[in-house]
């Protein structure tokens, strides 16, 4: 990781962490022009379920040609316009492998606005891991007011499905989460009953979360409107061992 990347990460973390509200000294008469809000969304789940591919698809618009196991965390950002307001979606693509996430975990969960749990529909093991991921969120004091969604990825591999939509939907219902089944690889794949019928599920998933956050959160200061920053990666040393549910608006 370069010195610049480290500086960017520090800035990005500071931005997210400072987006909690207006400085108390500001009055309506002295408020600066509207700024871009940042929504920090963390994407978690077992290694290999496709977190990098999903976040890359949403931010870069395509399936990555090749991926490697995430070490620490990757940031991906996309600036979107909702009803005339510019919103920066900051996706934190977290490492699924325990040894690559250990020392970063506290950063993942700080000032999180929403959580996306991902499992692989062709891996019953990744589905069985979900309670542990939910427990990890709980241990980091993520309240039920933080929107959560469940995503079953790799729906394009129809012949290899191990997790049925019914079972996934029951799990999602029991945790008050909406379920989406999708494919980062084949955006037009049609998921099962819990998913949206949109032709581009990945887009729908993150846009749904953003709409939810926008409707839930009052306008806050974060940073001046500007261009979307590129991805930034925090790497750990390779040697280390390392409420009620809410509806999917577009369903």
Contacts of 202 (CB under 8 A, 6+ apart): 54, 57, 58, 182, 184, 187
Residue with tokens 């991921």: 133
**Within its chain, how far is the Cα of 236 from the centroid?**
20
Among 51, 148, 201, 212, binds ligand GTP (CB under 6 A): 51
Closest distance to ligand GTP from the beta carbon of 21 (Å): 33
Helices (H), 46-104: 51-60
Q: In 3D, which of 2, 35, 20 has the Cα closest to residue 226?
A: 35
Among 41, 49, 112, 115, binds ligand GTP (CB under 6 A): 49
Closest distance to ligand GTP from the beta carbon of 156 (Å): 5
By CB under 6 A, residue 223 contacts ligand GTP:
no
Closest distance to ligand GTP from the beta carbon of 51 (Å): 4
By CB under 6 A, residue 195 contacts ligand GTP:
no
Tell which positions 152-171 bind ligand GTP, by CB under 6 A.
153-154, 156-157
Among 50, 152, 178, 194, binds ligand GTP (CB under 6 A): 50
- DSSP assignment string, 5-60: HHHHHHHHHHHHHTTTS--TT--GGGPPSP-BEEEEEEEE-STTSSHHHHHHHHHH
CB 203 within 8 A of CB 31: no
Q: Which is nearer to ligand GTP, 185 or 212 (CB)?
A: 185
Pairing of strands 85-94, 73-82: antiparallel
CB 111 within 8 A of CB 222: no
By CB under 6 A, residue 96 contacts ligand GTP:
yes
By CB under 6 A, residue 67 contacts ligand GTP:
yes
Closest distance to ligand GTP from the beta carbon of 48 (Å): 4
Q: Which is nearer to ligand GTP, 67 or 111 (CB)?
A: 67
Q: Which is nearer to ligand GTP, 148 or 154 (CB)?
A: 154
- Residues near ligand GTP (CB under 6 A) are 47-53, 67, 69-70, 95-97, 153-154, 156-157, 183-185
């Amino acid at each position: 990781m370069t010195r610049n990347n480290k500086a960017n990460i520090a800035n990005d973390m500071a931005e997210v962490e400072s987006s909690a509200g207006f400085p108390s000294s500001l009055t309506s008469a002295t408020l600066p022009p509207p700024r871009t809000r940042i929504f920090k969304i963390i994407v978690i789940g077992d290694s290999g379920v496709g977190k990098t591919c999903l976040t890359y698809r949403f931010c870069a618009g395509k399936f990555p040609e090749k991926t490697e196991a995430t070490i620490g965390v990757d940031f991906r950002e996309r600036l979107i316009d909702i009803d005339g307001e510019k919103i920066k979606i900051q996706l934190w693509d977290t490492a699924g492998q325990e040894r690559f996430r250990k020392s970063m975990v506290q950063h993942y969960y700080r000032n999180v606005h929403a959580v996306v749990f991902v499992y692989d529909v062709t891996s019953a093991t990744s589905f069985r891991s979900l309670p542990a991921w939910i427990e990890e969120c709980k241990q980091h004091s993520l309240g039920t007011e933080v929107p959560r969604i469940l995503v079953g990825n790799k729906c394009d591999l129809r012949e290899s499905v191990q997790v049925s939509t019914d079972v996934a939907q029951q799990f999602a219902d029991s945790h008050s989460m909406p379920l989406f089944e999708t494919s980062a690889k084949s955006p037009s794949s049609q998921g099962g009953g819990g998913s949206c019928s949109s032709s581009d599920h990945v887009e729908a998933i993150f846009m749904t979360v953003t709409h939810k956050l926008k409707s839930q959160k009052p306008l806050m200061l974060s940073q001046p409107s500007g261009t979307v920053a590129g991805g930034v990666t925090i790497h750990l040393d390779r040697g280390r061992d390392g409420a009620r549910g809410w509806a999917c608006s577009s369903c």
